Structure 1
Amino acid sequence: MEKQELLKILVLIESVYPEFTVKNETVENWFAVCRDMDYSQVLKNLTNHMRRSPYPPLMAEIAAYTFDDYAAESKNMVLEEEGWTQVKYNSPLANQSPHMPWQNEYFAGL
């Protein structure tokens, strides 16, 4: 999504929900999150939200990522949670902590 498209969305939110005010930091914060989203889908989600809710939307309520981006991001989150890291050639390897000098002595005593 381009910044001009985001501004259209924020102005629409502000016109429907008077308690929602657009400031410079609002635009920057929303753009940091929304730049990878699909404008037409976000607009559609916002329209649906306006029909259902008397409150301004949160970013998460109108977010619209492409499925491929979401699937790749989800896979990486699962791998990280399970202690794996993506490395060269996209093969996951277990996270290995750096070898510390005291470990030789500790593990030798086991």
Structure 2
Amino acid sequence: MTEEEANSILKEIIFAYPYFEVTDEKINYWINHLKAMPYKPVLYRLEKHIFTSNYPPSISQISAIEKEENTFLVKLEERRNKLKNYESK
């Protein structure tokens, strides 16, 4: 996510949880971690947290790490095709 989007996530937390302690150091810490995640899934998890918890979230409670693409099946199919081509010669 962009820094602007990370700021908007942090604003949501601050508005929803007035007792959430805010310092420059804490803001920088949160923004650095939030920027490594996709915006919409984090926002979705935050909104869900806001409706279910009286306490502000930790980063892990709203984190959404994008999974790497699983290429195992593609590679397996490529190997099968190579083997078929080799056997047909």
TM-score over 0.5 (shorter chain): yes
Counterpart of 1:22 in structure 2 is 22
TM-score by length of 2: 0.71
Deviations 1:52-108 (A, max 9, x none): 100000000000110118x8xxxxxxxxxxxxxxxxxxxxxxxxxxxxxxxxxxxxx
Give every structure 1 segment of 4 or more consecutive aligned residues whose post-TM-superposition deviation is greater than 3 Å.
Answer: none
Offset at 1:8? Answer: 0.7
Alignment of 1:1-110 (within 5 A): 1-68=1-68
TM-score by length of 1: 0.58
Identical amino acids, percent of aligned pairs: 33
Root-mean-square deviation (CA), in Å? 1.7
Offset at 1:26? Answer: 1.5
CA distance in structure 1 between the partners assigned to 2:2 and 2:26 by the alignment: 15
Query: Structure 2: where are the runs of 5+ without partners?
Result: 71-89
Paired residues, what number? 70
Structure possessing the higher relative contact order (Cα contacts under 8 Å, 6 or more residues apart): 2
CA distance in structure 1 between the partners assigned to 2:31 and 2:11 by the alignment: 14
